[in-house]
Chains A and B, each alone.
Chain A
Amino acid sequence: MSKNLRINNKQFVDETRKLSFIFNGKKLYGYKGDTLASALLSNDIHLVGRSFKYHRPRGIMTSGSEEPNAILQIGNDDALTDPNVRATEIELYDGLICNSQNCWPSVKFDIGGINNFLSPLLPAGFYYKTFMWPASFWEKYEYFIRKSAGLGKSPKKQDPDMYDHRYMHCDILIVGGGVSGLIAAKIASDDNKKVLLLEDKELLGGSLIYDDNDISKIDNQKSSEWLKKLIENIKNDKNIIIKTRTSLAAYHNYNFLLARQNLTDHLSVNDRSNKIRQRLYKIRAKKVIIATGAIERPQVFHNNDRPGIMLASAVKKYIDYYGVRCGLENVIFTNNDSAYETALSLYKSGTKLNAIIDIRDNSSSEIVNKVKSLGIQIYWNHTVVNTKGYKRINKITIMKLNDKGNDVVGKKIELNCDCLAISGGWTPMVHLFTQSGGKLKFDNKDNIFVPDKTNLNQLSIGSAKGDFELDDVLKNSIKDTKKFLQIENSNFDKIDVKCSKEKEKKNIWLLPSDKPLSKTKPFLDYQNDSTAKDIKLALREGFKSIEHVKRYTTTGMGTDQGKLANMHALGIVADTTNTNMGDLGTTTFRPPYTPLTFGTIVGRNVGQFFDIFRKTPIHDWHVDNNAKFENVGQWKRAWYYPKDGESMHDAVQRESKAARESSGILDASTLGKIDIQGTDANEFLNRIYTNAWSKLQIGKCRYGLMLNEDGMVYDDGVTTKLGENHYLMTTTTGGAANVMSKLEDYLQTEWPELDVFLTSVTDHYATASVCGPNAKKIINKIFKNLDLSDESFPHMSFKEVKLDNINCRIMRISFTGELSYEINVEASYGKYIWEKCIGAGKEFNITPYGTETMHLLRAEKGFIIVGQDTDGTMTPVDLQMDWIISKKKYDFIGKRSLYRSDTIREDRKQLVGLLTDDPNEILEEGAQIVKDENKKPVNMLGHVTSSYFSPTLKKSIALAVLKEGKKLKGQKLLVPMIDKTIKVTVSDTVFLDKENERING
């Protein structure tokens, strides 16, 4: 540290705890309590980054979340590195490693800096205009643009940190722990409300806590002393929960808010292990009080972006809070009184202040008079017209303003300056208010947007609502909070506040220079490098809406979301187009207020917790027997069981051959199961299925097809009549929940008169499905007393038996075309009954098969899978399943739609079979089918929905949907692939056992 930039004895920085950190490879030191920004400044480092487009050197500009320039890459680990971290927000910890972004090879010598000299060639919209044509070149352009775009580097490895979510509820949520928020918290707590107070910094108190001037007094005490007592009081208040290092990210409707708390980011890396890094609070508040304060505005003048140019409030905070001087030759440039507080702080700390430049003609307030009395040179009615110093400001040139304030007159005056503290007034932080749907109004006096109308139970107080002077802040906060909470009296009612009052106001959105605008660089958005010129260009080119101007110039589109730039952009648009700023409106403020890490958003829902998954009671057996699994809805279903390094194809061929030639067993537990009871259950089935159910006898099963009201197939499954008014319906695995809610919907809203009760019993039963020519022998071995003859137990019937005191429901139904028994038992006995079947089937080579084999077996029989062979545009007629539509029933769901003009079209897509000319060629599911591939554009006739190689038929088979497919049977068509064209013939959908003989074994 060559220069003496540290001021000793500051209460917020612990000089006994020295911390080391590395910036761009250089080891530096700071103290506990520093932010990374204050530590860098104490080492005389201003230059920390390069701007996005022109690669201009940029320095630390602010002391908060509005920082546009000092965004760094933290950490050098592939997994833990964090891009775009604001140096002004991160608390210094021992061993912190950080690097500048957007520069190469280094921040001091950046090759991209050549863009600065090319800047006349890079106006707003340059990229839009240049890379539009020829369109085919975009892929080439994109490669280079992507390389030069973007600021930080994202981590390459999985995030090893832990994140957490928590719900919170409160009577009053207070956002912001400054003086207004603290007063509101105390008033609410005294009224016995449960208060949640959020503060994004590590300490409460806002900017008043380090205020050191002698003019502001509360109850005859120094304002910061008064505030400290209030904070102590609040910390001991049992009604108030305080969360510091917690920033509000989003304010949604119905007072639902998201806040992010940093738990370990301020600790040295070694102290973080096994701790949660960040926590996301999901807060539901009865009432919300927004006390987020205000952000100081910069001024817009030529070369206003050099390192060393900072907000006046930031310069003050670095001195009064962190004890760091930002420069040794300071100049203040302002249009208002607040910067004079910075002047007093500089004076008190013994820091040299060369001059104050004020665009106003004069100011007669108490604070300005005090500065005048100290003999500090003030240039009234002057403006900065240029600055010098490439990597750090070293000189400024000032000139006198003319009467209108739109030009400069007189002689140039040059001043030495290594830190220029600028202030263009204050902007209330209304982001949260507008996020919540609140409407703003424009205040002409201070040129600010303030909260106006809201539908929610919320209040904005303090400088967040546009009160900037201490007496207004305190008295209005007390008054408004009392009214909001409907309280008559508070302990603050007799508060006595003294402060300086600003009388003279003047604002110029774009300050004039001695050079024409086209030769200057007055920056608005520092991060995105947009200047006042760009705004004017956008307006000249016809962009009128502020939303369009924003997107064309990218003003306000950086990671800082235009916190500093937006007001000037609006002001310049208003001035140029002669519009009132209030009529112009603002751009939309969207959450999050400050960027969130993905980890925080995701919380614990990572890895195996990303989505819930459901396992059948037989799952462990599948795992033990080497099953590969497939996701079906949320279920993990056994897909196939490879043996000795078999490929999927080989395993499926073996499994399906075994099922056809001897026996196979499938875990069918995942099928949706709905228990239906009630005196109107039969009538209900008649209304929801296309076929007739009136004559179904107890102990019999029936296949049913369910449509949507639009006539399209929705679900299918077998329903069994268990008793007079008792049915068990099965649904597809994926459709179970939807079917259940659809049936509930009809029962509750359309047919409340029906006496029917539905219970989802999917999880209550496990199902083992044994099929194949030897299935009967296997079942007979297990259930010795059960009569399995076709007369006593025919296809599509059901028996209830006991095995070892376990109730078993056995359905003789088949999805494979083979003789097949489905044994349903209570879930906890699922694995037991499965293993019984495996044991009994051993001598018959019983082969467990998965979903892939099941799909193949049913495709050989031409059975559809809803969702694979249908897609919500297929009627039963399209599926060639006319037989299942009852002609007798007056009505069922979807019936009327089956003869709409569209559904009776003959050229609809219809389900057909496809056989490849080469029996070994397996079609790809999803492949398109055409008649003529030479005539362009090629007419697409349909696509393949299911395709397999059948080991029983020794050829490839496929199902497809095809335009006018019914008429095309026997026709030769083509399936063009990327490397060949496959010849196919349209066939029947049933490939195997058309006579249904296998069903009886």
Chain B
Amino acid sequence: MFLINCPYCGERDQSEFVSGGEAHIARPKQPTELNDDQWAEYLFMRKNIKGIQFERWNHAHGCRKWFNVARDTSNDKIEKIYKMGEQPPKL
């Protein structure tokens, strides 16, 4: 059970949060311009790496804010938490 440091509320138990999958996948501004492959890339393709992964988390049972988490999937260690709109840290 993780301990997650919500950038708005502080450290809280994982049970207050939901994970929203991989971060930094922006919705295309002009979907109609994309062919099927390009759209499928946005829609379906997600990384599943061993190591540092950038993820979206939501403090669902708290402030309801979304934020980003850099997590090492090999040991679940959270390396960095940063707000929506910020660039991923270099780790």
Which residues does A use to contact B, with CB under 8 Å? 252-254, 256, 284, 437, 455, 709-710, 741, 744-745, 748-750, 752, 890-891, 895-897, 900-901
Chain A nearest CB from B17 CB (Å) reads: 12
Query: With contacts A455-B77, A896-B34 known, is A749 near B66, CB below 8 A?
Result: yes
Q: B35-61 CB contact bits vs A (8 Å, 1 = yes)?
A: 010011001000000000000101010
Is the beta-carbon distance between A455 and B60 smaller than 8 angstroms?
A: no
Query: With contacts A709-B43, A750-B27 known, is A744 near B77, CB below 8 A?
Result: no
Contacts of A748 in B (CB 8 A): 65-66, 84
Contacts of A900 in B (CB 8 A): 36, 39-40
Please, how many angstroms separate the alpha-carbon atoms of A745 and B36 in the complex?
25
Chain B nearest CB from A446 CB (Å) reads: 28
Chain B nearest CB from A601 CB (Å) reads: 15
Chain A nearest CB from B14 CB (Å) reads: 8
Contacts of A437 in B (CB 8 A): 75
Is the beta-carbon distance between A256 and B84 smaller than 8 angstroms?
A: no
Query: With contacts A256-B1, A745-B20, A750-B27 known, is A896 near B58, CB below 8 A?
Result: no
22 contacts between A and B (CB under 8 A): A252-B1, A253-B1, A253-B76, A254-B2, A254-B3, A256-B3, A284-B13, A437-B75, A455-B75, A710-B43, A741-B64, A744-B58, A748-B66, A748-B84, A749-B56, A750-B26, A752-B84, A891-B31, A895-B32, A896-B34, A897-B43, A900-B40
Residue of A nearest to B32 (CB): A896
Residue of B nearest to A257 (CB): B1
Chain A nearest CB from B28 CB (Å) reads: 8
Total A-B Cβ pairs within 8 A: 55
Chain B nearest CB from A708 CB (Å) reads: 10
Is the beta-carbon distance between B60 and A741 smaller than 8 angstroms?
A: yes
19 more A-B residue pairs beyond the given contacts A896-B34, A897-B43, with a C-beta to C-beta distance below 8 A: A253-B75, A254-B3, A254-B76, A256-B3, A284-B3, A437-B75, A710-B43, A741-B58, A741-B60, A745-B58, A748-B66, A749-B84, A750-B26, A891-B30, A891-B31, A895-B31, A896-B32, A896-B39, A897-B39
Residue of B nearest to A902 (CB): B36
Chain A nearest CB from B26 CB (Å) reads: 7
| Those of B7-29 within 8 Å (CB) of chain A | 13, 18, 20, 26-27
Contacts of A897 in B (CB 8 A): 39, 43
Q: B50-91 CB contact bits vs A (8 Å, 1 = yes)?
A: 000000101010001110000000011100000011000000
Chain B nearest CB from A254 CB (Å) reads: 5
Chain B nearest CB from A875 CB (Å) reads: 14
Is the beta-carbon distance between B1 and A254 smaller than 8 angstroms?
A: yes
Residue of B nearest to A282 (CB): B1
Contacts of A896 in B (CB 8 A): 31-32, 34, 39
Please, how many angstroms separate the alpha-carbon atoms of A862 and B39 in the complex?
33
Contacts of A455 in B (CB 8 A): 75, 77
Contacts of B77 in A (CB 8 A): 455
Query: With contacts A748-B65, A750-B26, A752-B85 known, is A253 near B2, CB below 8 A?
Result: yes
Contacts of B31 in A (CB 8 A): 891, 895-896
How many residues on the B side are at the interface (Cβ–Cβ under 8 A)? 27
Contacts of B26 in A (CB 8 A): 750
Contacts of A891 in B (CB 8 A): 30-32
Please, how many angstroms separate the alpha-carbon atoms of A899 and B47 in the complex?
25
Residue of B nearest to A256 (CB): B1
Please, how many angstroms separate the alpha-carbon atoms of A710 and B56 in the complex?
19
Please, how many angstroms separate the alpha-carbon atoms of A891 and B36 in the complex?
16
Residue of A nearest to B13 (CB): A284
Please, how many angstroms separate the alpha-carbon atoms of A872 and B61 in the complex?
26
Residue of B nearest to A751 (CB): B27
Contacts of B32 in A (CB 8 A): 890-891, 895-896
The listed residue (A253, A284, A741, A901) touching B36 by CB distance below 8 A is A901
Residue of A nearest to B28 (CB): A896
Residue of B nearest to A258 (CB): B1
Is the beta-carbon distance between B43 and A745 smaller than 8 angstroms?
A: no
Chain A nearest CB from B58 CB (Å) reads: 7
Chain B nearest CB from A909 CB (Å) reads: 21
Chain B nearest CB from A44 CB (Å) reads: 48
Contacts of B27 in A (CB 8 A): 709, 750
Contacts of B13 in A (CB 8 A): 284
Residue of B nearest to A896 (CB): B31
Chain B nearest CB from A763 CB (Å) reads: 16
Contacts of A710 in B (CB 8 A): 43
Which among B26, B30, B43, B77 has the greatest number of chain A C-beta atoms within 10 A?
B43
Chain B nearest CB from A256 CB (Å) reads: 4
Contacts of B43 in A (CB 8 A): 709-710, 897
Is the beta-carbon distance between B1 and A744 smaller than 8 angstroms?
A: no
Chain A nearest CB from B25 CB (Å) reads: 10
Please, how many angstroms separate the alpha-carbon atoms of A493 and B6 in the complex?
42
Please, how many angstroms separate the alpha-carbon atoms of A748 and B43 in the complex?
19
Please, how many angstroms separate the alpha-carbon atoms of A901 and B39 in the complex?
11
Interface pairs A-B: 5 shortest CB-CB: A896-B31, A256-B1, A254-B3, A748-B66, A455-B75
Contacts of A256 in B (CB 8 A): 1, 3
Residue of B nearest to A167 (CB): B13
Please, how many angstroms separate the alpha-carbon atoms of A967 and B64 in the complex?
46
Residue of B nearest to A253 (CB): B76
Which among A252, A710, A745, A896 has the greatest number of chain B C-beta atoms within 10 A?
A896
Chain B nearest CB from A993 CB (Å) reads: 38
Contacts of A890 in B (CB 8 A): 32
Contacts of A744 in B (CB 8 A): 58, 64, 66
Contacts of B2 in A (CB 8 A): 253-254
Please, how many angstroms separate the alpha-carbon atoms of A711 and B1 in the complex?
34
Chain A nearest CB from B64 CB (Å) reads: 6
Please, how many angstroms separate the alpha-carbon atoms of A748 and B84 in the complex?
8
Please, how many angstroms separate the alpha-carbon atoms of A455 and B78 in the complex?
11
Residue of B nearest to A892 (CB): B31
Residue of B nearest to A747 (CB): B66
Please, how many angstroms separate the alpha-carbon atoms of A455 and B43 in the complex?
35
Contacts of B66 in A (CB 8 A): 744-745, 748-749
Contacts of B36 in A (CB 8 A): 900-901
Please, how many angstroms separate the alpha-carbon atoms of A741 and B17 in the complex?
12
Residue of A nearest to B40 (CB): A900
Please, how many angstroms separate the alpha-carbon atoms of A730 and B2 in the complex?
35
Residue of A nearest to B14 (CB): A254
Chain A nearest CB from B10 CB (Å) reads: 14
Residue of B nearest to A740 (CB): B64
Residue of A nearest to B66 (CB): A748
Chain A nearest CB from B24 CB (Å) reads: 10
Please, how many angstroms separate the alpha-carbon atoms of A750 and B39 in the complex?
16
Chain A nearest CB from B81 CB (Å) reads: 14
Please, how many angstroms separate the alpha-carbon atoms of A256 and B1 in the complex?
6
Contacts of B65 in A (CB 8 A): 748
Chain B nearest CB from A898 CB (Å) reads: 11
